[in-house]
Amino acid sequence: MSNMKTSRLRAILSGQDMVVAPGCYDAITARAIQQAGFPVAYMTGAGTSMALGYPDLGLITMTEMVDAARRINGSIDIPLIADGDTGYGNELNVVRTVQEHERAGTAGIHIEDQVSPKRCGHLDDKEVITRQEFAAKIRAAAYARSDPNFLIIARTDARAVVGMEEAVDRCKMALDCGADLVFLEGPQTIDEVAQVPVAVGGPCMLNVVFGGKTPLLDLREAAQMGYVLAILPGLLSKSVIGVCDTVLEELKMTHMHPTPPGAPRVSQTFNRFGAQEWDALRTRFQDTPMSASKA
């Protein structure tokens, strides 16, 4: 199966600069990321869960996540990396998860070692599967891809459960099992953040979560630490919630339509989603109009 976005993602990640991928959960947020000039988008599991009305507690199914990815992929030209959660079961489920995301046009996913149903990586009381079970899932993911450029990211939540040393060991093991990139979730100090790429000795992804377990840092510092990719999964979803609360409160207080942030006109809003191109199709397929005398 061929997907030009997978080869493009590989090329982007092989560049000298760390790649920054903000999180999206629908076509609106994905288009915003593309329009802002970011080269890669990340489909957040937490944001997608909330968009469907649920907290990030493993309540969303593989089919629902793939459907969301398919809609997003159809609306943007840049590569999309998606949250693959635990693979939604055992190795067989991981195989199908990879296959379905490939068919949906996703350029890569991450698979984690939490017990199912999982929890947000920045919540307490997580549990992880054994190292052997995790290894089997990553091998299954690498086996399942029909496109060798489809990116497999191995995520471990072991830091919060069994400690930093085990988390690093799981990252190394995952690379040996076929992962292209590793994602050590939840380092708890800046020193730990800096330690990960050095200790792992392979390509690493950083998760940047406002108010989460990992302290925030300048992304230029993360690049100097050796990270290849940084995701900001909650940047847009949390911002949208905040803006909604603000303008709704203003409406209640003033009884007037608040000025939207950026104040886009109706036509500008629709053009962001291809209105001009769609309008051009209105007459493209019609016959040349007959003159009134021949009618």
Higher-pLDDT residue of 33 and 265 is 33
Among the listed residues 140, 35, 37, the one whose alpha carbon sits nearest the alpha carbon of residue 84:
140
**Average pLDDT for residues 169-187, to the nearest whole number?**
96
* pLDDT number for residue 1: 46
pTM: 0.91
* pLDDT number for residue 213: 85
Task: Give the span between the Cα atoms of 169 and 116, in whole angstroms.
Answer: 21
Does the pLDDT of residue 295 top 70, yes or no?
A: no
For 14-157, where are the alpha helices, taking DSSP H only? Answer: 27-35, 45-51, 62-75, 91-104, 131-144
**Average pLDDT for residues 163-179, to the nearest whole number?**
97
**Average pLDDT for residues 126-144, to the nearest whole number?**
95
The pLDDT tens digits for 99-118 are: 999 999 999 999 999 988 77
Least confident of 40-44, 133-137, 143-147, 211-215: 211-215
Does the pLDDT of residue 163 top 60, yes or no?
A: yes
Does the pLDDT of residue 20 top 60, yes or no?
A: yes
Does the pLDDT of residue 6 top 50, yes or no?
A: yes
* pLDDT number for residue 289: 60
Q: Is 120 helix (H, G, I), strand (E, B) or coil?
A: coil
Task: Give the span between the Cα atoms of 206 and 86, in whole angstroms.
Answer: 18
The pLDDT tens digits for 202-221 are: 999 999 999 888 899 999 99
First to last CA, the chain: 51
User: For all residues of the chain together, what is the average pLDDT?
Assistant: 92
Higher-pLDDT residue of 90 and 295 is 90
* Secondary structure tally for the chain: helices H, strands E: 13, 8
* pLDDT number for residue 288: 64
* pLDDT number for residue 120: 74
* Cβ-based neighbours of 199, under 8 Å, separated by 6 or more: 168
* pLDDT number for residue 121: 65
**Average pLDDT for residues 226-235, to the nearest whole number?**
97
Tell me what percent of the residues of the chain surpass a pLDDT of 70: 95
Higher-pLDDT residue of 265 and 154 is 154
The pLDDT tens digits for 36-79 are: 999 999 999 999 999 999 998 889 999 999 999 999 999 999 99
Give the CA count within 13 Å in the CB-facing half-sphere of 77.
6
Does the pLDDT of residue 2 top 70, yes or no?
A: no
Among the listed residues 221, 191, 193, 205, the one whose alpha carbon sits nearest the alpha carbon of residue 19:
205
